[in-house]
Amino acid sequence: MSETARTVVIEGFGGPEVLQLRDLPVGEPGPGELRIRHQACGLNFIDVYQRTGLYPLALPHALGMEAAGIVEAVGEGVTHLKPGDRAAYAATPPGAYAQARVMPAAQVCPLPDEISFDQAAAMMLKGLTVDYLFHRTTPLSRGDTVLFHAAAGGVGLIACQWAKAEGITLIGTAGSDEKCALAKAHGATHVINYRTENFTDRVRELTDGKGVDVVMDSIGADTFEGSLDCLKPLGMMISFGNASGPVPPVNIGMLGQKGSLKLTRPTLFTHISDHAACQAMARRLFGKVTGGEVKIRIDQRFPLDQVADAHRALEARQTTGSTILEL
């Protein structure tokens, strides 16, 4: 197939200005692959990490980790999807900022008719992240208390709703009163404006000095130490992002001094690397959405050729909910 597709690539690491739009050949799927024509793709902080080189890629490289569209062709051995199927994914390798692509099929998921392409592109990476945080990282039970940073972001708003649906007390932090109100409206039990309050002190007040069972922190360097001080003894710190920069090296003895704490740094792509696990996680996410427990909020839309502006808005923390790129 000689068709080309508009695709966002980088030839060097740097700021949003390194994002380039190219017409690249698409080709035919090989064994275990499929070709998908995207209807929308999602924007995530991991895209920024890859663009800047924090998560290095072999250059040149296309960017983008989640999208939704229609399967055009499948290679040998692909049985869970066929041409004409609606599908969505969060998956490696990067390359979702494109009109169409050929990619491994294992992490591409059949998309229920009740979920729009825009919704799917806005929720796959974020929703599957919430799934592994709540169901696969540490046991969580009804009545547990979680501190969730960036609660008004794309992952955060899904997490607020997920927690409410499962009877988990979620204390959410955000950087403005408006963002705090948004998190509260989506199910956060308590909210903290970290620009006007010390979130560690406030968490201790809200928990009568006991601390929380789990911290879910995608901010990184700015919140790491304070987050540890929010945990009760034997609590779990889940550091799953670096929006403010990577966490500096940790003296592991500190975990013992602060109450035999547990610390993990998971990634979504480890959790979805197994085909069956990925598909089961997606079905659970789709069930939350089609059942009305989780609503996907898309607050920003950018044409593909304005992807640099989308990155600038995300990095400046000017976004709420999810952002999609329209093709």
Q: What angle do CA 253, 257, 263 make, to 5 degrees?
A: 60
Name residue 4's beta-bridge partners: 25
User: What is the CATH architecture assignment of 4-126+272-326?
Assistant: Alpha-Beta Complex (3.90)
Query: Which amino acid is located at 122 in the chain?
Result: A
Q: Are strands 4-10 and 61-62 parallel, antiparallel or unpaired?
A: antiparallel
CATH 3.90.180.10 in the chain is located at 4-126+272-326
Q: How far apart are CA 140 and CA 125, in angstroms?
A: 21
Encode the chain (327 residues) as per-residue pLDDT tens digits: 459 999 999 999 999 999 999 999 999 999 999 999 999 999 999 999 999 999 999 999 999 999 999 999 999 999 999 999 999 999 999 999 999 999 999 999 999 999 999 999 999 999 999 999 999 999 999 999 999 999 999 999 999 999 999 999 999 999 999 999 999 999 999 999 999 999 999 999 999 999 999 999 999 999 999 999 999 999 999 999 988 888 999 999 999 999 999 999 999 999 999 999 999 999 999 999 999 999 999 999 999 999 999 999 999 989 988 999 999
Residues carrying CATH 3.40.50.720, the chain: 138-265
The architecture in CATH of the region 138-265 reads: 3-Layer(aba) Sandwich (3.40)
Q: Distance between CA atoms of 38 and 63, rounded to whole angstroms?
A: 14
Condensed to tens digits (0 to 9), the pLDDT of residues 208-223 reads 999 999 999 999 999 9
The Cα-based distances of 91 to 45, 74, 191, 267 in angstroms read: 14, 17, 32, 12
DSSP H or E run through 36: strand 33-42
From residue 227, alpha-carbon distances to 36, 141, 238 in Å are 41, 21, 10
The kind and range of the H/E element at 111 are: none
pLDDT (0 to 100) of residue 1: 45
For residue 42, what are its two tokens?
Answer: 């999602």
Give the C-alpha distances (Å, rounded to integers) separating 13 from 16, 45, 69, 304: 9, 15, 28, 19
